[in-house]
Structure 1
Amino acid sequence: MKHSRVKLSKCRVILFDLEFYVPEAGRDKSGFCYNPWDKRCKLIGGSFLPANPEKDLSKTSNNPKRKVKSFWLWDYKSERELLEAIYKLLRTTCGLVINAHEGRVSPIMCGIGISSSDVPILFELFKRYKILSNAEAFEFQNMFRILDISQLSIATFNNSNDFLYPKTKSLILQKYMPGKKFESGKSVWDLYDANEYDSIVDRVIDEVMCTHQCYLEIVEDIRKFKALEVSEKKRVKLAEKLALENAEAMG
């Protein structure tokens, strides 16, 4: 793709985080307890930052936090209405990007660990509540590209073996935001049971802004890697030139 075809002001990176609720009876298994097809479970909601690469994705961006849009179950009559609101945001953002580029560029969904949780869950819920048919959900999901920080960050860590594995949120934060920690997502269940909604909202918005910060740090790392690569190529080229000159002088 030629860079000239990309209109950065019309591109969007949707940084987001979702929270889910699992009733006590479903918390006895290890791993990810939430299942979008289990009617006992709930989507509590989430926060979304549809970032404009020109304005919102640099360390000098003017308060991107103010552009975060949040959707919470307690603000809607039903889970279906909550999902319809999220769908509307995604559809609107998708239309902006796709139309501006005649389908050549897609909006990006970005988060930590979203490729195995948040993204598939959303589209399963769109199907479950018949907001989209199975075929429509597949087509809509394919309009996006997924940028999972847990996978993207692999190359920024030292890997002692040949087994590449997505990095956890705690490791990523430890590297890029030392001292920053989040309790397990399961702690949200207790907050929800206690009706401590403000604490859930603050936590999720904070997670989105941490994702934003990690995104910026990884971009900076990539630029450093490329600068080192260029420097190494120059060094090798200079060494080859000197070796040739020495060989000619001795010849």
Structure 2
Amino acid sequence: MKFKREVTHVIFFDIEYYVPKEYRNRPGLKANPYLDGSFVIGGVFQRYFPIEDKLEEKEEFWIWDMEGRDTMEQEKNLLEKIYLYFRESWTRWELLGGGPRLTEPMVAGFGITRLDVPVLFIKSLVHRIAEPERLYDTYFKLRHFDLSVASAPLIPENKDRKVLSPVSQNWAVKNLFGDGERKPSGTTVWELYDEEEYQSIMERTRGEVELARRVYQELRKIRNGLPGRP
């Protein structure tokens, strides 16, 4: 792996996904991009250049800001904007990178390998945002740094010490920062959307991205043998 100033970067991001009421009592992961009536609500994205310790401004894309005759058309326009955001990262890598071993753009967040990245890929595939091979390259050639996995070896297991598994965001934050306050489940977003509490959704998602950045930096401190907790 090779890194380069002003090119190597991490995208902290979090998307929100709507699940219709009839599917909300399903066991396990509720979100499924092939279920009728489900759609991407939107998300918050922020590029971070770790070599320079430089953050870009957050960018947000929300379905209620999109034009369209219905939710499907609005979702398509939303996914096009998100796709172009990621393509911009690839363009930087391709034009400014140089050298075949330069590490690809990275993405970081909690549960992104289980939900966020697959949902963006599949929904973009359904809406034909780009050719399938182009979509695959855009979303799956990114370097995925899932914080629920990266945090696991550093967090004590409170159920079965024989099992090593991804940890929840709440459990990671509690142990990394000593913060015992539990954040509400992401499923609350569905009710907020039903009630048209859009501002609350935006604020919650911004907080998720900020928290991902803090956890990433805390894990880097631990990796480098530096004192933890700011």
Distance 1:180 1:11, change over 3 A: farther
- The match for 1:16 is 13
- Report the Cα offset of residue 123 of structure 1: 0.6
Where 2:225 maps in the other structure, the secondary structure is helix
Pairing 1:3-152 to 2, within 5 Å after superposition: 5-56=2-53, 64=55, 67-77=57-67, 78-102=74-98, 103=100, 104-152=102-150
Within 5 Å, give how 1:128-207 maps onto structure 2: 128-158=126-156, 161-177=161-177, 178-207=179-208
5+ long unaligned stretches in structure 2: 68-73
Given that 1:98 and 1:107 are in contact with CA atoms closer than 8 Å, whether structure 2 keeps it comes out as no
Relative to 1, partners in 2 of residues 1:181 and 1:45: Cα closer, same or farther, differing over 3 Å? Answer: same
Amino acid in the other structure paired with 1:122:
L
CA RMSD, 1 decimal:
1.9
Sequence identity (%)? 30
Alpha-carbon distance in 2 for matches of 1:165, 1:27: 24
4+ runs deviating over 4 angstroms: none
What is the CA-CA distance between 1:162 and the residue it aligns to?
4.5
- For residue 10 of structure 2, what is the amino acid of its counterpart? V
State the structure with more CA Rg.
1
Q: What TM-score, normalized by structure 1, do the two folds share?
A: 0.80
Q: For 1:141 and 1:18, locate their aligned partners in 2 and report how far apart those are by CA, in whole Å.
A: 14
2:225 matched residue in structure 1: 224
Return the offset for 1:158. 3.9
8 Å CA contact 1:12, 1:97 repeated in 2: no
Structure 1 unmatched runs, 5+: 226-251
Give, in angstroms, the shift of residue 7 of structure 1: 1.1
Contact 2:110–2:169 at 8 Å: present in 1 too? yes
Cα offsets for 1:51-106 (capped at 9, x unmatched): 111344xxxx6xx4x71111100000210000000000000011112332235320
Greater helix percent: which structure? 1
- Aligned residue identity for 2:3: V
Partner residue of 1:239? Answer: none
